[in-house]
Chain A
């Protein structure tokens, strides 16, 4: 497939975050782009979305495509604002959703309750039973199902989830029941568990399906409001969402599969990093998004984003669907520093948020990471990012001294340095968790840092983790919106197989893969977008017989499929994970995961080419900064005015509208031909 020029037009990425809505608009015909950042509207994400579009001042009738990254689903779940939903399930099992896997919120301490997303009085049972081998022990009675559905409607349910035991093995009862519900249900919000996740493990499947059901009205309503407003403003193009796996999904599909958009916004950011890194010739990357409250880390190894099968939005709210694997810790500009009863300095995970905000906002009293940066002169209090009012340096000093300096016997500057070091250490821990701990050698990896606060910590993180270097993209503050513009179209399918390798019938396995290919490719094609190419990837999840956790194995090509080739592929994957093979133990193929990815026409990174004339022109004077135990003058540069191949030795500060980059002593900052700043240790 190749892209035709007539498919090209104006593509706009819109990322609605907790604090800001970011816009990246690209005219594919001329290569011009614009960016914008407007405050998000806390209680109406749709308003923030439209305000952002208005900000870039384009005629919506001219736009061909809008791609959206959102956290509307995640927020609804976290705040339990999702729609009232009912569950119809197998007799004897209505509490599966509430009993979870018998876990508790933390290892230590036995307090805390769990509020299931569907309360017990809206979980009803019907007499039906399928066994593990797929045989039907008891058929389902559609009349009984309809009676349950009516009861749920009377109880106020707006959405309905049908989840039967072993429906992954044989969905017949579940399908009949879902049909019976649909006959009388007043809207389209009906979810059958095996349609969402045809996989063994009843809690994970039921939870994923239940979350999907209760998000349907929320995400559907949200998208309807936006689509209606877009139509009124003359938009006739296509509208997509970014999924948790980093690929795009049409708004229509997102309405029936909203659970796939749970990590939409953060995933768009990772997608942006992967394209920026690829353009810069990097195949091994750790992406770091540091905003006000959290620090999200993901890995791109050998050019591929690392995905995981499952995530928990909150205690007990489990979603099982392929998604970009992200480690999130509570470390951001707003993370609060304190000294605990044992005399140890802690930073985060609690955050001052944007209200009351860091002490330097003049309201809150708790010192934060942002306050520490301000005390040390690392950020410009007179012109903070995001167009905020000037910051109160004295308030920041006061807070740092009283909460950290006094208990530890340190002065303001030493306390501030300590806060940054401890925060850096926990961020470094998150980077290690996704990289080193997977056996990835950090010295091969480059960090791509985005989000408002990331570039301030990049050098220190490189130092702490042994990463090779850090790359700061030209517009780090609108990374996720840029990711929306460059996102691929992707569809995933998981199928349970459960076979010993020796029992593999090459013909049958090949047919299974081909049918997965057909189904996922069709989904991608239906989006009707211009594609540069389309790839299908099959991944086997395999283990030794008796193991319950699997390793991911690249499937052999269709022609090569045989028990021997599948085993050889497993041996390779197992050795690289654990360094040894086990003798004489049968190997099992548990499931096949298929992903079809339609790559969008490449973004021309030449558009980002630096426009600066000379380093001297970019110079914006000097600022007092504290390091090495004393106050010293440090040169300040306007980052986007630096020319191609500019090199600046640290210490130095690079400023721009949406972020501040700190070039630490012992580091050089180099500008590449796409206006990325590369920070490398000397």
Chain B
């Protein structure tokens, strides 16, 4: 590889690559059609290694979980291209395979090889969450799915663009599998916009620095992430730390699903062993190994924020996941609820790191994306689907209380405004409020979850919910207590329905005036509740974050039970 780059050029190139990715993100967000990409930013762009697919650079504005999972997608594109004699200039591959490509069927992955003088230098990738990809349930969050085809249509790697020529048959296919073909068409064009821009910017960089310098920089940036992660791991005391947490159920069976971790620290090496985690289940809370590794990456990046976003981050980390595991799903295991399982993997890592060194960790966040869809038909017969994720509290941490009403750790998504939702769908919100007492008690308590209530204005509709934490609340760490449970309820003309599976349900019939409510968990607490300062408790009471009864029960009153 020749001599190393001087530190200054490396710093400049590192910044330029990050800016390039952010710019691709911005282009997709601004021109996408579906609000899950445009408003909630459920998308990402990155640069991946020419032959291994490892993450070389990742923007800061995209969805965190994709940083790791897209490495699997790049590897899949590399294999698919190899089977056809290798990628060519101007090709773009498209697929939504969640097994090797990671995450779930809604995430459409586009990969474009980048060449310099005929040599493949790297891959540019764009991924975004499409509104609908077929299957039994609009929006694809189908808690009762037991095999992949019920979740949606799986597109294996195909050439969307061949030597610069867009294939309209593939464009038509991507639109045809969707209940919202126009959204799919618009989002696809937006992803192409982003990839074109990325290609142009990479050419400019190439012109300025040359392929040799660029390749060297890729190697060194990865090495740097690896060194920083080693330094972080080495700062944890050696030992093995065990943690466990549970998913409520898989949407079809009734049982709790354990996620168990043995985390070993030995010098600057970290082992994350998930061998004792549940085997694969019938319902859609399985995740592929690609996704599981991405979840580990997200957890560690949240705890060690100084490590740059590339594959070097996982260099000193060994992840052990046996075949047949919940975390190693293969076709046709359903994976549509991948978010909930990712969040549980993150939670057990936070808990294990807290055992090793509580100063480096924090209480678990609310731990569910609370995907709710309400669907019906308008007077003119056209279909409407309101599909939204909801927020909750983040965990108490060494610095202070958790953030009230944040987004889940795997995401940077914002929530759509009430006024936009009410303008677009025949519903109205009757409550959009912080939920008192929902944060886990602790010296630094968890942030508050929220309480939302929606009234149906149309004559009839159907509701679907895909969530978790309805049975097992978000844990605290370092003596901190768990947060409140997630509570979902449907008040219909037939009475109030609490989902039998607590957090997952399909096809609830609603009539005009029916109400759907979600009360999301807060974050887990940090440190012993008895150590919370009286001043903080007085403020909690004055602002109504906590009720007097809660303070008496969990904190022994304002003066610690005096």
Listed in ascending order, the chain A residues whose CB lies under 8 Å from chain B are: 92-96, 98-114, 119-121, 129, 131-132, 137, 165-166, 168, 200-204, 340-346, 408, 417-418, 421-422, 425-426, 429, 432-433, 437, 498, 544, 546-549, 577-580, 582, 585
List 29 A-B residue pairs with CB atoms under 8 Å apart, sorted by A's residue number: A95-B405, A99-B432, A99-B434, A101-B415, A102-B391, A102-B407, A102-B414, A103-B412, A103-B414, A105-B403, A107-B60, A109-B302, A110-B395, A110-B409, A111-B398, A111-B399, A113-B403, A114-B404, A132-B422, A132-B423, A132-B428, A166-B422, A203-B417, A342-B227, A344-B11, A344-B14, A548-B38, A578-B27, A578-B193
Complex interface bits, B391-406 against A, C-beta within 8 A gives 1, otherwise 0: 1001101111111111
Central interface residue in A103, A107, A578, by most chain B CB within 10 Å: A107
Which chain B positions have C-beta within 8 A of A99?
A: 391, 404-405, 432-434, 450
Other-chain residue from B306, B401, B404, B415 in contact with A340 (beta carbon distance below 8 A)? B306
Contact (A422, B11) CB under 8 Å given A98-B404, A107-B61, A582-B185: yes
Which chain B positions have C-beta within 8 A of A548?
A: 35, 38-39, 420
List the one stretch of B70-78, B460-468, B541-549 in contact with chain A.
B541-549
Is the Cβ of B399 less than 8 Å from the Cβ of A107?
A: no
Is the Cβ of A345 less than 8 Å from the Cβ of B11?
A: yes
Which chain A positions have C-beta within 8 A of B418?
A: 93, 96, 165, 202
Interface of B is mostly: mixed
Which chain A positions have C-beta within 8 A of B417?
A: 101, 200-204
Is the Cβ of B433 less than 8 Å from the Cβ of A93?
A: yes
Is the Cβ of A113 less than 8 Å from the Cβ of B16?
A: no
Is the Cβ of B23 less than 8 Å from the Cβ of A342?
A: no
Is the Cβ of B12 less than 8 Å from the Cβ of A421?
A: yes
Is the Cβ of B306 less than 8 Å from the Cβ of A341?
A: yes
Shortest beta-carbon distance, A207 to chain B, in Å? 12
Complex CA gap A432/B412 in Å reads 24
Give the residues from 46 to 68 in chain B that come closer than 8 angstroms, CB to CB, to chain A: 60-61, 64
Which chain A positions have C-beta within 8 A of B182?
A: 546, 585
Which chain B positions have C-beta within 8 A of A113?
A: 400-404, 447
Complex CA gap A421/B422 in Å reads 51
With an 8 A cutoff between CB atoms, is B29 at the interface? yes
Nearest residue (CB) in A for B397 is A111
Complex CA gap A101/B545 in Å reads 19
Complex interface bits, B190-224 against A, C-beta within 8 A gives 1, otherwise 0: 00010010000000000000000000000000001
Which chain B positions have C-beta within 8 A of A579?
A: 193, 196
Which chain B positions have C-beta within 8 A of A429?
A: 15-16, 19
Which chain A positions have C-beta within 8 A of B409?
A: 110
Complex CA gap A204/B431 in Å reads 18
Contact (A95, B433) CB under 8 Å given A344-B14, A547-B31, A582-B186: yes
Shortest beta-carbon distance, B43 to chain A, in Å? 13
Contact (A104, B406) CB under 8 Å given A345-B7, A585-B182: yes
Contact (A344, B412) CB under 8 Å given A113-B400, A113-B401, A120-B544: no
Question: Which 3 residue pairs spanning A and B have beta carbons closest together?
Answer: A102-B391, A101-B414, A342-B228
Is the Cβ of B419 less than 8 Å from the Cβ of A132?
A: yes
Interface of A is mostly: loop
Which chain A positions have C-beta within 8 A of B193?
A: 578-580
Is the Cβ of A120 less than 8 Å from the Cβ of B545?
A: yes
Contact (A108, B419) CB under 8 Å given A93-B432, A95-B433, A121-B544: no
Is the Cβ of B14 less than 8 Å from the Cβ of A107?
A: no
Which chain A positions have C-beta within 8 A of B307?
A: 342
Shortest beta-carbon distance, A393 to chain B, in Å? 23
Complex interface bits, B297-313 against A, C-beta within 8 A gives 1, otherwise 0: 00001100111110000
Complex interface bits, B1-31 against A, C-beta within 8 A gives 1, otherwise 0: 0000001101110111001000100110111
Is the Cβ of A102 less than 8 Å from the Cβ of B415?
A: yes
Complex CA gap A668/B285 in Å reads 65
Other-chain residue from B227, B365, B405 in contact with A98 (beta carbon distance below 8 A)? B405
Other-chain residue from A92, A110, A425, A546 in contact with B429 (beta carbon distance below 8 A)? A92
Shortest beta-carbon distance, B262 to chain A, in Å? 24
Is the Cβ of B227 less than 8 Å from the Cβ of A104?
A: no
With an 8 A cutoff between CB atoms, is B537 at the interface? no
Is the Cβ of B305 less than 8 Å from the Cβ of A108?
A: yes
Shortest beta-carbon distance, A297 to chain B, in Å? 13
Shortest beta-carbon distance, B308 to chain A, in Å? 8
Listed in ascending order, the chain B residues whose CB lies under 8 Å from chain A are: 7-8, 10-12, 14-16, 19, 23, 26-27, 29-35, 38-39, 60-61, 64, 182-183, 185-186, 189, 193, 196, 224-225, 227-228, 231, 301-302, 305-309, 362, 365, 391, 394-395, 397-407, 409, 412-415, 417-420, 422-423, 428-434, 447, 450, 453, 542-545
Which chain B positions have C-beta within 8 A of A104?
A: 394, 403, 406-407, 412
A99-B391, A201-B417 are known; give 14 further A-B pairs, CB within 8 A.
A102-B406, A107-B64, A109-B302, A110-B394, A110-B395, A110-B409, A165-B418, A343-B224, A344-B10, A345-B7, A345-B8, A425-B11, A582-B185, A582-B186
Nearest residue (CB) in A for B193 is A578
Complex CA gap A128/B331 in Å reads 53
Nearest residue (CB) in B for A432 is B19
Shortest beta-carbon distance, A572 to chain B, in Å? 16
Is the Cβ of B428 less than 8 Å from the Cβ of A131?
A: yes
Is the Cβ of A547 less than 8 Å from the Cβ of B415?
A: no
Other-chain residue from B32, B196, B422 in contact with A131 (beta carbon distance below 8 A)? B422
Complex CA gap A99/B394 in Å reads 13
Central interface residue in A202, A345, A421, A547, by most chain B CB within 10 Å: A547
Contact (A119, B420) CB under 8 Å given A108-B301, A578-B193: no
Other-chain residue from B32, B543, B544 in contact with A547 (beta carbon distance below 8 A)? B32
Shortest beta-carbon distance, A530 to chain B, in Å? 41
Is the Cβ of A110 less than 8 Å from the Cβ of B12?
A: no
Which chain A positions have C-beta within 8 A of B23?
A: 433, 437
Complex CA gap A549/B187 in Å reads 13
Nearest residue (CB) in B for A546 is B33
Is the Cβ of B228 less than 8 Å from the Cβ of A341?
A: yes
Nearest residue (CB) in B for A341 is B231
Which chain B positions have C-beta within 8 A of A204?
A: 417
Which chain B positions have C-beta within 8 A of A418?
A: 7-8
Is the Cβ of A201 less than 8 Å from the Cβ of B405?
A: no
Is the Cβ of B183 less than 8 Å from the Cβ of A546?
A: yes
Which chain B positions have C-beta within 8 A of A95?
A: 405, 432-434, 450
Complex CA gap A546/B185 in Å reads 11
Shortest beta-carbon distance, A119 to chain B, in Å? 6
Which chain A positions have C-beta within 8 A of B7?
A: 343-345, 408, 418
Is the Cβ of B10 less than 8 Å from the Cβ of A547?
A: no
Complex CA gap A131/B425 in Å reads 12
Complex CA gap A548/B424 in Å reads 12
Shortest beta-carbon distance, A346 to chain B, in Å? 8
Complex CA gap A168/B423 in Å reads 12
Shortest beta-carbon distance, B386 to chain A, in Å? 13
Complex CA gap A632/B372 in Å reads 69
Which chain B positions have C-beta within 8 A of A585?
A: 182, 185-186
Which chain B positions have C-beta within 8 A of A344?
A: 7, 10-11, 14, 224
Complex CA gap A104/B231 in Å reads 27
Contact (A112, B419) CB under 8 Å given A580-B189, A582-B186: no
Nearest residue (CB) in A for B406 is A104
Which chain A positions have C-beta within 8 A of B186?
A: 544, 546-547, 582, 585
Central interface residue in A119, A548, A580, by most chain B CB within 10 Å: A548
Which chain B positions have C-beta within 8 A of A121?
A: 542-544
Complex CA gap A425/B8 in Å reads 9
Which chain A positions have C-beta within 8 A of B403?
A: 104-105, 110, 112-114
Contact (A343, B227) CB under 8 Å given A102-B415, A111-B400, A426-B15: yes
Complex CA gap A345/B395 in Å reads 32
Which chain B positions have C-beta within 8 A of A200?
A: 417, 419-420, 423
Contact (A422, B19) CB under 8 Å given A99-B432, A102-B415, A103-B412: no
Complex CA gap A433/B61 in Å reads 14
Nearest residue (CB) in B for A424 is B12
